[in-house]
Amino acid sequence: MPYPDRRAYPDKFYPVVDSIAWVARLTKLGVGTIQLRAKDLNDSQALQIVSDALAVTKGTPTKLVVNDYWRAAIVAGAQHLHLGQEDLVEADLAEIRSAKLTLGISTHDDDELEIALRATPDYVALGPIFPTTLKSMRFVPQGIPKITEWKKRIGNIPLVAIGGIKFEQAAGIFAAGADSIAVVSDVTQNADPDARVRQWLGQNAEAA
């Protein structure tokens, strides 16, 4: 079953990071939802980093979302999972649901949205909203108007906007219909990440 309170998950500010150090730093700052996206790990490495991240967030209000490594997430006792389209094809959705993991899915175009909705996700991520230099993208930037269009299509399912988004653009993106904003470089490549996170958390409170 989908997550019982869709409004509470994911949080409006949703940073995506690639290391335990970042998970620990953001948890201490009081971030409510953090995605751990560490690429190219084997099974044992994935289980280790997921277990370590869960140990960091244990006993805190922070919800850890595991990107890609659904088997490690199940074994380690995670509660939240995010899959890209390629990962979704290979994942065992029945096993994921049996383990009571929430499921977020990345989408970039209409076909991917249809595929995602068939998996009854707990949220849908749309991106990239703006150009991003973090990885080569097969898809052109979607732009803010696409957020409004997709939110109308998916209804009560939370919509997460991702891709090149900075704090200064947050108000407009929420106004367009996004329920949450996934943030990468605006935190991890910021000259003062802690101050930036506090800005985002302040916006979070204002938008609540």
The pTM (predicted TM-score) of the whole model is 0.93
Nearest in space to 124 (alpha carbons), one of 26, 41, 14 = 14
CA distance 111 to 205: 34
Nearest in space to 171 (alpha carbons), one of 123, 203, 193, 195 = 203
Q: Which domains does the chain have, with CATH numbers?
A: 9-207 (3.20.20.70)
DSSP annotation of 124 = E
CA distance 99 to 76: 11
**Count of alpha carbons within 13 angstroms of residue 92, beta-carbon side:** 10
∠ CA 33-155-15, nearest 5°, is: 20
**Per-residue confidence in pLDDT tens, the chain, 208 aa:** 343 344 579 999 999 999 999 999 999 999 999 999 999 999 999 999 999 999 999 999 999 999 999 999 999 999 999 999 999 999 999 999 999 999 999 999 999 999 999 999 999 999 999 987 655 566 789 999 999 999 999 999 999 999 999 999 999 999 999 999 999 999 999 999 999 999 999 976 565 4
77, two tokens: 């006792």
Contacts of 150 (CB under 8 A, 6+ apart): 113, 124, 126, 159, 177
